[in-house]
Amino acid sequence: MLVILLFGPPGCGKGTQGKLIVEWLPARIPTISTGDMLRGEIAAGTPLGLQTKSVIAAGNLVSDELVNQILRARISRPDCQNGFMLDGYPRTVEQAEYLDTVLAELGMPTPVVLHLDVPADVLVGRMVSRRNCPKCGRMYNVLTMKPKVDGICDDDGTALATRADDREDIIRDRLKTYADVTRPVLSHYPGDRYFQIPGERSTQYVFEEITEILERFLAEEAAAPKATAPESANAAAEAAQPVR
């Protein structure tokens, strides 16, 4: 069992690395983002989903309390029995503390935190160079992943476009917000399970560093005695009883 928290600013390559990680792991685990969780509950028509839908329809932000409840429901599902990877949660120290509590109750390990750190100037350069196909959604980069014909999608011949939010001023505002919000959350996690990984290098180089980190924790988890969630809960309850 392995719980992974994937952190990184916009444009750092989290999506690419996340996909590589789950394909590499010996036991399949789901990648869960906050948006995926909310959309999943809404699509399933659960009570939490209906509540979320009404909040969004009213133009309000989904509260931390509601997001926490949805997170708990999501990671309690059978597909998370071997662990899971979170992208975009926790966003606050309070959410991190809540996650600690839920993991302990479910008998799951302390998360391994992978922080893809990329200098702001590199990120800005990456994102202002992005182009996308309005028809099929395929992404390109005029510096690193050019289309065969300049400005034209390889798949359907549609003229490529620049996203409205891929402007330098908007990108720098987003990066500042990310840094301000994320720094306290990263500080919440112990140093022996937090890893800051330079993300400006090649995709393969970054991935190799990630797998070296995860191999150690997989070995530790394999060697550790396992307790089921009910057993863990019983042990916690017994520990809380006064000594007679």
147 with 140: CB under 8 angstroms? yes
* CA-CA-CA-CA dihedral for 73, 78, 83, 85, to nearest 10: -60
- Phi, psi angle pair for 34, to nearest 5°: -60, -45
Q: Which residues are catalytic?
A: 14, 91, 130, 163, 174
Using alpha carbons only, what angle is made at residue 77 by residues 75 and 81, rounded to the nearest 5 degrees? 80
My answer on whether omega of the bond before 90 falls inside 30° of 0, hence cis, is yes
d(CA 205, CA 40): 33
d(CA 225, CA 196): 29
Other CB atoms within 10 A of residue 179 CB: 11
Question: Which run of H or of E encompasses 180?
Answer: helix 168-187
Other CB atoms within 10 A of residue 58 CB: 7
Sequence-distant (6+) residues with CB within 8 A of 159 are 134, 151, 152, 153
